[in-house]
Structure 1
Amino acid sequence: MLRCDHITKSFAVKNGYKTVLDDVSVAFPDGKSVALLGQNGAGKSTLLHIIAGTLQPDRGTLTTDRSISWPVGFAGSFHGEMTGAQNVRFIARIYGVDTYELEGFVEDFAELGAHFNMPVRSYSSGMRSRLAFGASMGIGFDTYLVDEVTAVGDQRFRRKSRAVFLERMRNAGALVVNHDMNQIRQLCDVGCVLHNGGLEYFDDLGDAIARHEALMA
């Protein structure tokens, strides 16, 4: 179970406040990959961070009995002076998983070469995203939060990312933010559309995409 009840979140802007999420309530289905669709600034990443617990709503509650990953595309929690390997070992200890197993998985998956043992501050944004995606996919969460990261890298790496993601989805659910509708169709089962602070849920992914594309037009 993962449920949002009356979630509201605003941010300070030049002339006051902008409400990004306005009294949003939704129950996400277990074991499904849910597309989060919406224009830039609609609140997709904000909702992911609230669900992850890295951002607090102004009002409302989140209820879950499932283990939830951090937003996979978000690499800001890495310690810049630590190497990629050291960051992964730290994550393993935090989440109580085998340190060497996770380190080996991420080193193989992320394809960072010698950079894996270099400080993360020296990484490009794409390298950070690959490290974050690998670390998240290496842990058996009930629900994965994925923010654009499957678009990182060349075509071969994107295919590999999709393959490992789909493998995890055999036993888990996900909330996915991605602007590529072809990838959304490949990765997701159902969809939500964020617009003007509200959220619409669709059991039919095609209906969600159609609604999103109509709003974009």
Structure 2
Amino acid sequence: MSNPIDQDRQLEELPYAWRRVVLFADNMAQATVADAIGRSPKQQLTWIGLAALPLLLPFGIPGVATSLGYLTFLLGVGYALGFGVPIPRKIGEKRLPPNAAQVLKRFLGVFIRRVAPHSKPRLFIMSHPRMRPVNGLVLAFAGLCMAAPVPFASFDNVLPAAAMVCITFGLRVRDGRLVLTGYVFTVLAALLVVLLWWGGYAVFVWVSKQPWASQWLGWLFS
């Protein structure tokens, strides 16, 4: 485990935009949900990216991805329209778990070590204010892909989570290539949802045509 001096040195070596993201994660300790999410669209984008980081792993806590997906949809639409989405008081007054900031910083550290050395400000058209409606709607669509119930799969959150992380952090550090990568992940997430639903429907049709299926259902409901 690295000591605080090493962590401070590593933080100073990061580009300014990435340091802001790390400091944002630090400020989430003991914060309320409303304080963590914030009111400005930029702060809400950073929160989405941080919250989606743990979902890059192919497993998660049931219900978390669905809630985050719907919230991302709302925040993405708000970003597209140019305003922050107000958080209901009943939800906003709740406090985050004491170790939430440390867990998110751990995931953020892994992500930054792999991405930050290859990231730099570029393709500024992708982070231009004129692209705000497009970026917001793509982010909202990625949230819907995450919230969509998918049969027979526990890994379907990885692609939309990757899309949300790449788009939000790409906009934060003005890395247009990272934003474009988020677009690609969004398309792949949508295709995966369609494929899994089509596969689930095909399996259902095949099972319904089997003679043993009707016998089993008759025995079950007799």
* TM-score computed with the length of structure 1 as normaliser: 0.30
Give the structure with the higher percent helix.
Answer: 2
Q: Highest Rg: 1 or 2?
A: 2
Kindly indicate whether structure 1 or structure 2 has the higher relative contact order, using CA contacts under 8 Å at least 6 residues apart: 1
Q: TM-score, normalised by structure 2?
A: 0.29
